[in-house]
Amino acid sequence: MSATTPIAPSAAGARRTDAAVPRSHEKGWRALRAHWPQYLAISPFYVLFLVFGLFPILFSIVLSFTNWDGMGKIEFAGLAQYAYLIQDSRFWNAVGNTFIIWLLSTVPMLALALGIAFLLHQNIRLRGIYRVAFFLPNVTSMVAMAIVFGSVFSDSFGLVNSALTAIGADSIPWLSSSWGIKVTIAVMVIWRFTGYNAIIYLAGLQSIPTDLYDAAKMDGASTWQIFTRVTVPMLRPVILFTVITSTVGGLSLFTEPQVLLGNEGGVGEAGMTIVLYQYNQAFTQFDFGYGSAIAWALFVMASIFAIINWRLLSERDRTPRAARRSKGARS
C-alpha cells in the first residue's frame, strides 16, 4: 500500500505537463518540484562533487591566469604563467622524465601481466592463492613500499647491489644516478600494477569462448601459437583498455617518486614528474598560479593521448568494409 501511494501523484503530474506542453525549462522546474525529495536524496554526492571536484577544477583555470601565494592578494597575470611554462627547463625535464618512466614501466608491465594472466588461466593448483598474491601489491601501503624499495635499491647496502656484486658485476648507483632513479621508480610501478592488469586480462581471457581453443588444439597448435594467434587478437579491446589506464596513471605519476625521493625529485631532479613538479610549485613554493598552469598543461597532454587512443579504438571497431567506404568517401 505505502509503496504505491507516492507513484500515483507523480504519474498524474507527468500527464498534466504533457497536456499543457510547456516550454522545456518550465517542465524541468515542475519535475523538480514534483520530485524534490528524490533529488534531495541524491544531492549529497553532487554537492560534494561541486565543492571538492568541480569548483577546484574551475578555480584552477582562473588561478592559472594569476599570481597567488595561497594567502595574499590574487593578482591577474594574463598569460604570464603559460609563457613561463613554455621556457621553463625544469618543467620540460619533468615532462621528459614522466614519459621515460611511463615507457620503462608500461611496456614490461603489460607484457608481464599478459603472461601471468595466461598462466593463471590454466588449470593449475591453488589458482585462487596466486590471484590474490599477484593482486596484493596493488593494495599495499605506498609509504611502506617506498621504505622497502629504498632499502632494496640502496646504493651501498641494498639487496640488489649485494646480489650484483655477489655475481661479480659492478654495483649500480640506483638512487643517485639519473637512469637508476628512473628504473627504480619504473620497477615500483611495475610491482604495484602488474597484478592489477593481470586480473583485468584474466577477466578478458575468461570471456574468450573455449571452442576457439578446442578448435586450435584440434588443428595441432602449440601453446605459444594459441597464445599469439587466438588469445592476443581476442584480447585486443582489453589490451587497449589497459594501455589507456596505464597512460593516465603514467602521466599522473606522483606517489612513487614523492615517497621514494621527496618533494625535490632526487638528485638532478631525475625523478621529478609533471605532477610532482606541480605539487612542488604549488605546495612547497606556494606558487599556486604556476601550479595550476602546470595542471592544465598536463590536461592538454592527457587529452592528446586520449584522442590518439580513441582514434585507435574506433578504427579497430569498424568492419573492414566500412573502413574502406569511409576512406573512399574522404578521398
Tell me which residues touch another protein (CB under 8 A). 2-3, 5-6, 36-38, 40-41, 43-44, 67, 69-72, 84, 90, 150-151, 154-157, 173, 175-178, 260-262, 264, 266-269, 283-287, 290
Choose between 20 and 143: whose C-beta lies nearer to another protein. 143
Nearest to 273, CA basis, from 191, 195, 185, 205:
185
Q: Reduce the DSSP state of residue 169 to 3 states and report it.
A: coil
Give me the phi and psi of 87, to 5 degrees please: -110, 20
Choose between 154 and 245: whose C-beta lies nearer to another protein. 154
What is the C-alpha separation between 83 and 85, in angstroms, rounded?
A: 5
C-alpha cell at 57: 577544477
Residues in the chain: 331
Residue 5 CB, shortest distance to another protein, in Å, is 5
Choose between 122 and 156: whose C-beta lies nearer to another protein. 156
Choose between 226 and 267: whose C-beta lies nearer to another protein. 267
Residue 60 CB, shortest distance to another protein, in Å, is 15
Choose between 2 and 331: whose C-beta lies nearer to another protein. 2
Residue 67 CB, shortest distance to another protein, in Å, is 7
Residue 307 CB, shortest distance to another protein, in Å, is 32
Contacts of 248 (CB under 8 A, 6+ apart): 302
Neighbour-count burial for 166-178, b at 16+ CB within 10 Å, e otherwise: eeeeeebbbbebb
Choose between 40 and 124: whose C-beta lies nearer to another protein. 40
Residue 101 CB, shortest distance to another protein, in Å, is 16
What is the C-alpha separation between 100 and 73, in angstroms, rounded?
A: 38
Contacts of 240 (CB under 8 A, 6+ apart): 309, 312, 313, 316
Q: How many CB atoms lie within 10 A of CB 179?
A: 13
Q: Are strands 75-76 and 66-67 parallel, antiparallel or unpaired?
A: antiparallel
Residue 1 CB, shortest distance to another protein, in Å, is 9
